Structures are given as structure tokens and as C-alpha cells.
Amino acid sequence: MNILDIRNLSIEIETSNGPVRVIDKLSLQLAEGEIHTLIGESGSGKSLLAKAILGFINPRWKITADRLWWRQYDLLALSRAQRRQITGRDMAMIFQNPGTYLDPNSTVGEQLRESIPSHDLPGNILTRRKQIQKRAEELMHRVGIKDHDAILESYPFELSDGVAQKISIAMAIAHRPKLLIADEPTTAMEPNMRSQIYRLLAKLSAGDGMSILMITQDLTAVIPESKRISLVYCGQLMETGPTEDVMREPVQPYTGAMLSTSLFSSETKPKSRLPTLTGAIPTLQHMPIGCRLGPRCPNARRACIEQPPLRSYKKHEFACHYPLIEVDSHD
């Protein structure tokens, strides 16, 4: 069952060159308890998609979708207040720089305790406070922090990036959300810390049945627990499907390029020139028409000035007129 169902979501933003679809007919489904990794280079609209799901939207943006459903709710049909309520209850998000949104003036403990919902706790103020403290310590253990006393007493600037990110995860899961969106949570972190954070997220999802939308720039950050991935480029969905299938048999030229450019292939000879896309990522003001990969795509031909529809191949879906693999089209 899909807990999150997005079909053909578009977000239009006003630029100096007129309105631009920053997100262009993007579809994404997330099942309960699933980890789904969204991969895209900068400007592909990853953070904007996260904001659209959470409802943190600028009223001037034009948002349209065939479907934007969270559980049984049609999010686009809800009022702002209703959406805020659902987001607050069911969803949470962590960001790239945890330091920037932790309050520098209060201790980690104060901030963590504040994020624990207290209204449904039994007892009087005193017993509640005890329960909250206990829950705070429990959350610290869950995110793998053992010396909780010291950390709870410290201020955010005293923490390393990794610990700060763990705290932000503890705060995010304090109200037991059903969906966690992790927006590039480990970019610029050292690899050891990076895998610790990813392992932690995977454990949380497995333990609580929490769904996680993992957002990253880079195929190298996809963890084995992420059973599905989607690749986006300049706001358009390029390919989506089960992680293993997509990686073993990429259909879309963008997926192919991202795979061969990430240095993990055992065939990469040291000092050889890496295969990669030519050219630069277009700016918002100069989006190509049709398939936005066009100017950088090795397979591009004239038909690519029309945006290709989403088609399926085995268990993946992809959007491309000239895929890497011959695909029967029965549509």
C-alpha cells in the first residue's frame, strides 16, 4: 500500500524570464515502512519536492498534480490549517546542516524535551516531567548516543556535525512520525560518520515501520536498505524502480551516466578518463524545452524537444524517447 502517492506534480515559480516549471510532472510513490532514495544533482528540485510534501509552500507558487495523497488525505484539497496539523502529526524532516536550525541559545536537552509531545502523557506535572526526561534519554539511545547526560547538557555549537545530526534525528522522531524526509543528511560529512547516520536511519525504519524519503546528490549514497530509487534531473523524473533493477539494468541515459561516472565500477582503470555528461546543469532561466537532459544527452535526437511520457520496462518506469535498452512500446 502506498502511503504517499504523487502523480504528475508540477510546481511553477516566477523567474526573471517568466514562469518556469521547477518541478515538471514528477511522480513518486512511497510504501509504508519503505526507504526510497531520491537522487538528483543540484537544482533538480529535490528540496522543493520535500517542501511540497510537507506543505511548506510559498502561496505564489503554482502547484498542480493529478494526485498528491498522503494516506487517505488528498493534500491539495485540504486547508492550510488542516495540512499543518497532518504534517505536524505524521511527518518530520532532517536537513543537511543540523547546526543551522538547532537553537544556539538553549541546551540540547531543552530542545529535545520540547519536541516530545506531552499532552497525552498521564499523571501530574512532576510525573510527566520524569517521563519526558526518560523518553529523552531513550531517544538518545535510539540514535546511538551513549553519554546522554553530557550531551543533553551541551549547547549545539559544542557538538560535532555527526552528533548534531543524530540529535536532529532524535528530535525529528520524538513524535513518532510515519514519514521522515532526510534532505542530504550527510553531504560534506566524513565517510565513517556518513555510514553511521545511514545505518541509523535504516534501523529506525525497520524498527518502527517509518517510511523514509532519502534525498541525495549522489548514487554513492544509496544504502542497501533503500529498496527503491528515483532519479530526477531539472525537475523531471528520469527513471524510478527497484534499486537493484535500476542499477543493474539502467534504461534511461541519465541513470546510465550517473552510474558510470560514480567511481564504483570495478572496471574503472586508475587515471582513466571518467565517462560523464558534457556541459553544465542549466539554470532555471534557461531550461531546455522537452526532455531537459537534451543538451547534455548522448542519445538526444529531434524528438526530444517533446517531453517523453513515463513508460515501463520490467519493474522500472522511465521517461525517454531513446532508451539505452530496446523497450517494446505497447502504448
Partner 1 sequence: MTKVLEVVDISKYYIHKTGWLPGKKICALEPISFSLERGETLAIMGETGSGKSTIAKLIAGAEVPSQGDIFLNGQRLDPHNYRQRCQHIRMIFQDALRSLNPETSVGAQLAEPLHFNTDWDQEKKTSHVVETLRKVGLLPDHYNFYPHMLSSGQQQRVCIARAIILEPQIIVADEAFVALDPSIRAQIINLMLDLQQDMGISFIFVTHSAEIVKHIADKILIMHHGRLIEFGTTEALIKNPQQELTKNLLHAESKHNVLTHSTIQE
Ligand X SMILES: Nc1ncnc2c1ncn2[C@@H]1O[C@H](COP(=O)(O)OP(=O)(O)O)[C@@H](O)[C@H]1O
Contact with ligand SF4 (CB under 6 A) among 26, 68, 257, 300 = 300
Contact with Mg ion (CB under 5 A) among 27, 44, 47, 226 = 47
How far apart are alpha carbons 280 and 232 in whole angstroms?
16
- Told to check if 322 binds ligand SF4 by CB under 6 A, we report yes
Beta carbons within 10 angstroms of residue 205's beta carbon: 19
Pair type for strands 228-233 and 35-39 = parallel
Contact with ligand SF4 (CB under 6 A) among 197, 257, 321, 324 = 321
Print the binding letters for residues 158-187 with partner 1: x by CB under 8 A, - otherwise. --x---------------------------
245: amino acid identity, one letter: D
Task: Write down the least CB distance from residue 23 to ligand SF4, Å.
Answer: 17
- Applying CB under 5 A, what is the total number of residues that bind Mg ion? 1
**Binding range to Mg ion, per CB under 5 A, among 2-10, 43-51, 98-106, 291-299:** 43-51
Place of cell 498542480: 64
229: helix, strand or coil? strand
The vertex-205 CA angle with 203 and 209, nearest 5°, equals 130
Buried b (16+ CB within 10 A) or exposed e, 317-330: bbbbbebbeeeeee
Span 3-22, contacts to ligand X by CB under 6 A:
13, 22
Q: What is the DSSP letter of 288?
A: P
- Told to check if 216 binds Mg ion by CB under 5 A, we report no
Contact with ligand X (CB under 6 A) among 21, 26, 35, 44 = 44
Q: For residues 48 and 251, which CB has a smaller minimum distance to ligand X in the complex?
A: 48
- Told to check if 283 binds partner 1 by CB under 8 A, we report yes
- Told to check if 177 binds ligand SF4 by CB under 6 A, we report no
| DSSP states along 49-111 | HHHHHHT---TTSEEE-SEEEETTEEGGGS-HHHHHHHHHHHEEEE-S-GGGTS-TTS-HHHH
Pair type for strands 310-313 and 228-233 = unpaired
Q: Which helix (H) or strand (E) holds 174?
A: none
- Binding partner of residue 241 among Mg ion, ligand X, ligand SF4, none, CB cut-off 5 to 8 Å per kind: none
Task: Write down the least CB distance from residue 122 to partner 1, Å.
Answer: 41
Beta carbons within 10 angstroms of residue 160's beta carbon: 12
Span 220-279, contacts to ligand SF4 by CB under 6 A:
252-253
How crowded is the C-beta side of 178, counted as CA atoms within 13 Å? 13
Span 263-282, contacts to partner 1 by CB under 8 A:
263-266, 268, 270-271, 273-278, 280-281
- Applying CB under 8 A, what is the total number of residues that bind partner 1? 46
How far apart are alpha carbons 192 and 236 in whole angstroms?
32
- Binding partner of residue 117 among ligand SF4, partner 1, ligand X, none, CB cut-off 5 to 8 Å per kind: none
Helix/strand/coil percent split, the chain, to 5: 35, 25, 40
Contact with partner 1 (CB under 8 A) among 14, 103, 244, 306 = 244
- Told to check if 45 binds ligand X by CB under 6 A, we report yes
Name the site residues for ligand SF4 (rule: CB under 6 A): 252-253, 291, 293-294, 297, 299-300, 304, 308, 320-322
Name the site residues for partner 1 (rule: CB under 8 A): 41-42, 160, 188, 190-192, 194-195, 198-199, 217-224, 226, 243-244, 247-248, 257-259, 261-266, 268, 270-271, 273-278, 280-281, 283, 296
Name the site residues for ligand X (rule: CB under 6 A): 13, 22, 40, 42-48, 58, 284
